Amino acid sequence: QSVLTQPPSVSAAPGQKVTISCSGSTSNIGNNYVSWYRHLPGTAPKLLIYENNKRPSGIPDRFSGSKSGTSATLGITGLQTGDEADYYCGTWDSSLSAVVFGGGTKLTVL
C-alpha cells in the first residue's frame, strides 16, 4: 500500500488529453513539492515535472503539473503512442522522513 494514491490505469485516444491524480496527506503533498516521472520497466525513469509544475529542459509543454492541498495532478495533452508508460508521483514525507512514491499509473493510448 503506497503512501500516495494513484489510479492504477488511465487511457485515452491519440491526440487527446489525460490527467493522472496523486492523492496524499499534509505530511507529504500538503507541505512538500511534488515531482512526476515516466518509466518503462527495465529502463531509467525520466523526470517530467518538479516543484509541482516545473518542467526540466527538454520536456515538452504537453506535460504539465499542478497541486492543490494534498493532491497533485499530471496532465498530458496531444497524446502519442510513445507516451504509453507507467507514471509515478513522488514527494518527501515529513512524518516518515522518507521519499515516497505513488503506486504508479499505467497510461494506455488507444
Residues found near another protein in the complex (CB under 8 A)? 2, 32-35, 37, 39, 41-47, 50-52, 56, 86, 88, 90-92, 96-104
Question: Judged by CB, which is closer to another protein: 75, or 86?
Answer: 86
State in angstroms the smallest separation of the CB of 13 from another protein. Answer: 26
Q: How far is CA 77 from the centre of its chain?
A: 14
Burial of 6 (0-12, 13-18, 19+ CB in 10 A): buried
Cα dihedral 57→97→7→110 (10° resolution): 30
Nearer to another protein, 14 or 56 (CB): 56
Q: Evaluate whether 103 touches 6 at the Cβ level (below 8 Å).
A: yes
Q: How far is the CB of 22 from another protein (least distance, A)?
A: 12
Q: How far is the CB of 72 from another protein (least distance, A)?
A: 12
